[in-house]
Amino acid sequence: MKIPITKPFIGDEEIRAVSEVIKSGWITQGPKIKEFEDLMGNYLKSNCVAVNSCTTALDLALKNIDLKPGDEVIVPSLSFIASANCILYNNAIPRFVESDPRTFNIDADEIEPLINEKTKAIVPVHQVGLPADLDRIYSLAKKHNLHVVEDAACALGSQYKGKLIGSFGEISCFSLHPRKVITTGEGGLIVTKDNKIADRMRCLRSHGATLSDLDRHKSTEVVFEEYEELGYNYRITDMQAAMGIEQFKKLEYILKKRKELAEIYNEELGKIDGIYIQSIPSYATPNHQTYAVRIKKNSAELRNRIMNKMLEKGIATRRMQAVHLEKYYIRRFGKISLPKTEEANHTMIILPFYPSMSDDEQRYVIQNLKEIVRDAQN
């Protein structure tokens, strides 16, 4: 059997919707973006601005707080590198905070000691779709007058204390990459309740133009756009938005399937001696964007051996990144010690997980992991 890490859940509906956009002749940012943004905005009870990735969403969200060179932004190291890169794009310094190896999420206890007069923002990551402890993070932000930009790349459909991530809070950024719960190929969303911020984000995603192509097209008189500040081309296409609209219709089903599959993994993998399953705090209802476990022994060598054995059986697995250990960050900021993050980085294994995963496929992963972990420990 060959089992990939993920499979996007795409059907004829998406193919038809994208074809219709191509046939319409309006393929770049246009009416479908507006429809997609309205749909997502209605779901999240906020303004939604679609851009071409979560990386560019985070970049613009941070641009909105006008960071100055030398300003500091607190971010967990245990994340995909984009969470920290966006801080560097804005000439600020990422201050890496520990994550809790049990939840894989930012450790709220570790934030306050990093705050100083240069700190301007916190970028909590809802890692693998598990909401971070937002009440504690927002209360620290309030106490120290900091912005919060939520890296919700993985967290569409996840809830914190019964509220959807993105439906409250300052500004949240989602990814629509194929490893996320719904996809547009590449894509991202900036989500905010603040109408002024949303307008500015719309402007910045398209070179700072005060009017979009759609505004100009719909106008009954000739209108010209103006450029009041430096903007970017972070636009997404109408082909992608059409796909996003169809994907969104499947979101509830996808979340239900992911929950069912996660429960089976939890039940079966929780019994394996030598493995921890992710611990879910009572405030969180995750979307199960990714399924990851941790081996109990703090040994990257053992973890790698297990991953290689899984690959020999045709099962793809992935590691979890710790950004402060990447060469570029060591070159730039020197060696930093984050023991809890390093333990998670050395012991985590991301397993195959997707809504169309069959019982046979899931059983095959479970059985092999059981045997491989048992043999590897002996």
Ligand X SMILES: Cc1ncc(COP(=O)(O)O)c(C=O)c1O
Determine which residue in the list 55, 158, 240, 287 makes contact with ligand X, applying CB under 6 A.
55
- Determine how many CB atoms are found less than 10 A away from the CB of residue 268: 17
- Determine how many CB atoms are found less than 10 A away from the CB of residue 229: 11
Sequence-ordered alpha helix ranges (H) in the chain: 12-24, 31-44, 54-63, 82-89, 134-144, 195-204, 213-218, 238-249, 251-269, 300-312, 327-333, 339-347, 359-377
Q: Which stretch binds ligand X (CB under 6 A): 75-83, 279-287, 297-305, 368-376?
A: 75-83
Q: Is 160 in the site for ligand X (CB under 6 A)?
A: no
Q: Considering beta carbons, is residue 83 or 317 the nearer one to ligand X?
A: 83
Determine which residue in the list 157, 169, 185, 188 makes contact with ligand X, applying CB under 6 A.
188
Q: Is 67 in the site for ligand X (CB under 6 A)?
A: no
The closest of 4, 20, 24 to 246, measured between CA atoms, is 20
Angle at 250 between CA 150 and CA 281, to 5 degrees: 40
The closest of 83, 87, 81 to 67, measured between CA atoms, is 87
Determine which residue in the list 82, 239, 302, 357 makes contact with ligand X, applying CB under 6 A.
82
The one-letter amino acid code at 74 reads I
Q: Is 54 in the site for ligand X (CB under 6 A)?
A: yes
Catalytic residue numbers read: 180
Q: How far is the CB of 319 from ligand X (least distance, A)?
A: 13
Q: Is 151 in the site for ligand X (CB under 6 A)?
A: yes
Q: Is 154 in the site for ligand X (CB under 6 A)?
A: yes
Neighbour-count burial of 131, counting CB atoms closer than 10 A to its CB (0-12 exposed, 13-18 middle, 19+ buried): buried
Q: Considering beta carbons, is residue 236 or 366 the nearer one to ligand X?
A: 236
Q: How far is the CB of 43 from ligand X (least distance, A)?
A: 18
Radius of gyration of the CA atoms of the chain, in A: 21
Size of the site for ligand X (CB under 6 A): 14
The closest of 146, 135, 198, 136 to 172, measured between CA atoms, is 198
Q: Is 153 in the site for ligand X (CB under 6 A)?
A: yes
Determine which residue in the list 77, 79, 240, 317 makes contact with ligand X, applying CB under 6 A.
79
Residues in 250-279 that interact with ligand X by CB under 6 A? none
Q: Is 125 in the site for ligand X (CB under 6 A)?
A: yes
Q: Considering beta carbons, is residue 55 or 278 the nearer one to ligand X?
A: 55
Q: Is 46 in the site for ligand X (CB under 6 A)?
A: no
Q: Considering beta carbons, is residue 132 or 197 the nearer one to ligand X?
A: 132
Residues in 162-181 that interact with ligand X by CB under 6 A? 175, 177
As a whole number of angstroms, the distance between CA 196 and CA 211 comes to 15
As a whole number of angstroms, the distance between CA 369 and CA 364 comes to 8
Q: 3-class SS at 365? A: helix
Q: Is 289 in the site for ligand X (CB under 6 A)?
A: no
- Determine how many CB atoms are found less than 10 A away from the CB of residue 143: 10
Q: How far is the CB of 220 from ligand X (least distance, A)?
A: 37
Q: Which helix (H) or strand (E) holds 292?
A: strand 291-295
Q: Is 59 in the site for ligand X (CB under 6 A)?
A: no
- Determine how many CB atoms are found less than 10 A away from the CB of residue 1: 11
Name the site residues for ligand X (rule: CB under 6 A): 53-55, 79-80, 82-83, 125, 151, 153-154, 175, 177, 188
